[in-house]
Amino acid sequence: MRFRIVCFSLLMLLCAGLSTALAQQTETTVPAVEKTTSQADVAMQRALDHYNNGKLNEAAGLLRGFVISQPDSDLIDQAYFYLARIHHDLDDPVSALDYLKQMAEKSQTPASILLQSELLLQMGDAVSAVDLLLQLDTQSWPLHQRQERYLLLAEGQLALDEQFKTLYFYQQALVVEGEKTPRDILARIYTLLSDRFNEADLAEAAFMYRDKPVAYLAKLQLGWRALAAGRKDLAQEWATAAIAAPAGFAYHEEALSLLSQVTDPTQLQRAIGVLLPLSGRYAAFGQRVKRGMQLALEEFRPYIPVRFIFRDTAGDETVAAQQVAELAISDRVMGIAGPLVGNAAQGAARRANQERIPLLTMSQREGLAASSLYVFRNSLTPQLQVKALIDYAMEELGFSKFGIMNPQTRQGEHFAELFREEIILRGGEIVAEQSYLTEQTDFRRQVRLLQGLNPNAADEEPAKNPDGSYVEEKEPPPFEALFVPDYADHISLIAPQLAFYGLEDVQLLGPSGWNDADLPRLTHQFVEGAIFTDGFFSHSSYPFVQEFVKRYFSQFDEEPTILEAQGYDIAGILLTLLNDSHVRSREDLRRAMAHLQDYPGVTGATRFDPLGEADKILFLLQVQNGTIVQIN
């Protein structure tokens, strides 16, 4: 024992940087098992460093090597645990559970048990997850892990359709301090009460949890349902009861909003709130949208008495959320248009859901419409563009084989992924794919790989006929159409090289980034016949688009862009719906928007799908004789 202590001390001195001689002496006297333990520590630390830096695959490789090379290490169970965590993060619950099962029973920790329960829930085995969690003695557990257990139990009971048990465990999580704030948990309770509880259940919950936040949330829900049923007296009673919640109740403003809708004799005013970035870095975009909206308002004003109340978000998420509350509660508008910028739209969407006020945003941020029944989105999305292109290529042109050549940007890769998935879904084939750097100017390698050729082979001299002319030996392209999701400036570099390196007679397809009047001039004949799409085309043959462009040019002495067109259409949609005498409440407006069918907008005929996303007929454009024309 003394010998081992001396060796350990000498090893510590070595780490502190003592003399070389002493280090050599220590190296020769440390037993082999002690050296192995040190190597295990280093290997484990390297794996954890990769994990903490988000390099999951690299960490998994190191850990798998560790369990093979260090089966007797004291850290083996830690390695299994982190392998399980990594596979959980990689959405592979089966492998994650297998690694947890390798851990010795004595090594099980609260973290590993909670992870096992979460994995069982992911795999749809709520019964096993709940049984496991209920058997635990958690008195010695840290508070944050106790809270996590309650939340997992709530999820398990929810999966088992036990809404009252779910509510019980959410309430338990609410009173335990942990990583989730009371506001976060109350939001889950709010959704549970809204989605899973009928009026009788809500009344029972209000009684069971009286004087607790859950009771006030149940009363608030009862108030909204009474208002929707036209029972204003009952709605006022429930709203008054919800307002009586102690100071700090997270949904106090919503209770005030409900009460004001019931008791305010003026009711809602025929007005629309508009949230746009009118200052800051996005001000130029916001001003363009505002111009389009004002043009629509002037057109509708003689027979639709609706006001627009503009607010400047400056592109800020918090500001936008506050302005939604002000427009809903103080200004009492029927609905809200905007915001334009992603972060601001995200904050506005959350608050619009809380206030139950319809919001029609123009942001391209994913997931906004799906987040709430009250949020709709009218924007030119990648999904719409890909669908329009593939509809035409497969149904009108009869193509089935495609290639993709995309820039290595988030947008380029997203377009490529959507195109690939849609082609496969429709029974088509992606024959070849290549990507390129944004700063790249030479595309020989990508073009040759798309053709299935060796990019490193030298270019062969074409064969000649006896008269000295060249023999034309053209291999047919491996696909019928090539999708290139990039902008016109890059296309002007790519298109000529496609032809130069032999990839000719292929239909070129592109998104709205191709719609640049300078594209045919920059690329000459190399984009002749190319097809792309856009949400607005100022030279459209549609009479109503021509009239819009004419009116806009007359007022502002320039042609409108898609931003002005989007503003014009969003204003037109809301004004048209509010012109219906049956649309008297926010709920009426929400339903009218959900049932909108083919509104004849200058950005395309528009309706909203069940998630609230605009489903539009986009403009299909083609380069013909050096000019961009509409072909649909």
310-366, pLDDT tens digit by residue? 999 999 999 999 999 989 987 889 999 999 998 999 999 999 999 999 999 999 888
Using the predicted structure, report yes or no on whether residue 114 has a pLDDT greater than 80: yes
Element (H, E) at 481: strand 481-483
Length of the chain: 632
Distance (Å, whole) CA 255 – CA 224:
9
DSSP string, 20-59: HHHHHHHHHHS-HHHHHHHHHHHHHHHHHHHHHTT-HHHH
Q: Residue 609 half-sphere exposure, CB side, CA atoms within 13 Å?
A: 9
Distance (Å, whole) CA 36 – CA 10:
16
8 A C-beta contact, residue 519 and residue 484: no
Q: What is the DSSP letter of 269?
A: -
pLDDT for 60 equals 86
Nearest Cα neighbor of 142 from 166, 115, 171, 176 is 176
Mind listing the domains of the chain with CATH numbers? 2-26 (no CATH), 271-380+553-616 (3.40.50.2300), 382-457+473-534 (3.40.50.2300)
8 A C-beta contact, residue 103 and residue 112: yes
Q: Residue 85 half-sphere exposure, CB side, CA atoms within 13 Å?
A: 20
pLDDT for 534 equals 96
Using the predicted structure, report yes or no on whether residue 3 has a pLDDT greater than 50: no
CB atoms within 10 A of CB 191: 10
Report CA-CA distances (Å) from 406 to 129, 241, 403, 523. Answer: 44, 58, 10, 18
Distance (Å, whole) CA 57 – CA 79:
14
Q: What is the DSSP letter of 393?
A: I
Nearest Cα neighbor of 381 from 534, 599, 605 is 534
pLDDT for 32 equals 38
User: Average pLDDT for residues 292-301, to the nearest whole number?
Assistant: 88
pLDDT for 30 equals 33
- CA R_g for the chain: 32
pLDDT tens digit sequence for 472-501? 556 788 999 999 999 999 999 999 999 988
pLDDT tens digit sequence for 124-175? 999 999 999 998 888 889 999 999 999 999 999 999 999 999 999 999 999 8
8 A C-beta contact, residue 66 and residue 42: no
pLDDT for 303 equals 64
Distance (Å, whole) CA 326 – CA 316:
15
Distance (Å, whole) CA 208 – CA 304:
49
DSSP string, 574-623: HHHHHTSTT--SHHHHHHHHHT---EEETTEEEEE-TTSBEEE-PEEEEE
Distance (Å, whole) CA 275 – CA 567:
11
pLDDT tens digit sequence for 417-455? 999 999 999 999 999 999 999 999 999 999 999 999 988
Question: E-assigned strands of 357-445?
Answer: 359-361, 375-377, 401-407, 429-436
8 A C-beta contact, residue 212 and residue 247: no
pLDDT tens digit sequence for 281-294? 999 999 999 999 99
Nearest Cα neighbor of 373 from 388, 357, 384 is 357
Residues with Cβ within 8 Å of residue 147, at least 6 apart in sequence: 173, 176, 177, 178, 179, 180
User: Average pLDDT for residues 170-195, to the nearest whole number?
Assistant: 90
Which amino acid appears at position 628 of this protein? I
User: Average pLDDT for residues 607-631, to the nearest whole number?
Assistant: 94
CB atoms within 10 A of CB 383: 15
Range with the largest mean pLDDT of 39-48, 382-391, 454-463: 382-391
Token pair in block for residue 378: 């009218």
Distance (Å, whole) CA 397 – CA 508:
12
Cα torsion 411, 417, 420, 425: sign: negative
What phi, psi does 209 have (nearest 5°)? -110, 30
The chain-wide mean pLDDT, for the chain, equals 87
What phi, psi does 457 have (nearest 5°)? -75, 145
Cα torsion at 584, 588, 589, 590 (round to 10°)? 160
Query: Can you tell me whether residue 149 is helix, strand or coil?
Result: helix
Cα torsion at 15, 19, 20, 26 (round to 10°)? -60
pLDDT tens digit sequence for 573-605? 999 999 888 888 899 999 999 999 999 999 999
Helix residue ranges per DSSP H, 90-181? 93-101, 110-122, 126-134, 143-159, 163-174
Q: Residue 123 half-sphere exposure, CB side, CA atoms within 13 Å?
A: 18
pLDDT for 6 equals 35
Residues with Cβ within 8 Å of residue 248, at least 6 apart in sequence: none
Please report, rounded to a whole number, the percentage of residues in the chain having pLDDT higher than 90.
58
8 A C-beta contact, residue 543 and residue 549: no
pLDDT for 464 equals 58
Q: Where is average pLDDT lowest: 11-20, 152-161, 456-465?
A: 11-20
